[in-house]
A = this chain, B = another copy of it.
């Protein structure tokens, strides 16, 4: 085993996600448990460049496990993409005595970490924190389960008014590259159709499906649309298109937006964050680096960061089929 790390830095970066605070708390407490010092870095790589640090102990993370957002704040840093930015970051880390990093975020965060690790041989371990669940190497990312419940609660509410007025609703949910939120929330929300980036069903199939739904006696319908769907129209254009081509329906649009990122994390996300934080710290203490902690088959494991970044997260084909059967 390599010389033991004695001070670990932790930061959150990229879009925030519920469970990030629970992960910070876990990293801090795992450090305390192993008698390693822990330093919080504000605003991701940007705070690293500016030396915006805070010493953390078990007390500093009290009462945050159930809070959305991130107490360390998050940001995107263009400066860190330059060698000069990274040099500044390295100097601040050195000055502060930080010897290893836990990076909580998504693809961009991990890419930054890999470059930094390569240039400075700085030990880094990633924790996947993003609501989109679009990371290769883990069945779940932090915040995904919470976001699903937030979306489903919103769909339930919209269903109330849709069925009272016999309306068709297009509901846009997050997911630029991954349809996981749309697919799962669509099944759970009883959607008649689900549009995702991984699959282009085409406008004709959509119209047919809506016609069939109407003629089967359903007076109201919900279509869940991922931001990044491939059907070639945004959600407002879709509304216009359907109203023009399928005058049976009174159509409405709802864009759920940023509320999907917030809220108290679900039990699952809190437990997952607690587990991943411990694993990240202990992996660094074992002298390993350049891995992402993932959860697969309900066990924690490690995926090399480059695989996590380059690998392609796949949509679950069985779920597509279930969605199809459920909307018959």
User: Is the CB–CB distance between B68 and A262 below 8 Å?
Assistant: no
A227-255 interface (Cβ within 8 A of B): 252-255
Residue in B148, B298, B325 whose CB lies within 8 Å of A316: B298
Contacts of A300 in B (CB 8 A): 318
Assembly of this chain: how many copies? Answer: 4
Residues of A123-163 contacting chain B, CB below 8 A: 139, 145, 148-152, 154, 156-163
A188-220 interface bits toward B, Cβ cutoff 8 Å, 1 = contact, 0 = none:
111000000000000000000000000011100
Residues of chain A at interface, number, CB under 8 A: 87
**In the complex, what's the smallest C-beta–C-beta distance from A136 to chain B, in angstroms?**
14
Q: Which residue of B lies closest to A324 (CB)?
A: B33
* Nearest B-chain residue to A297, judged by Cβ: B297
B32 touches A328 (CB 8 A): yes
Please tell me which one of the listed residues B25, B68, B73, B148 contacts residue A267 in the complex, with CB atoms under 8 A apart: B148
A30 CB within 8 Å of chain B: yes
Min CB–CB distance A196 → chain B (angstroms): 15
A296 contacts across to B, CB distance below 8 A:
297
Contact A151 B259 (CB under 8 A): no
| Contacts A322-B274, A328-B33, A328-B58; A264 near B156 (Cβ below 8 A) | yes
Which 7 pairs from chain A and chain B are nearest by CB? A157-B262, A160-B262, A68-B160, A69-B160, A188-B270, A297-B297, A148-B267
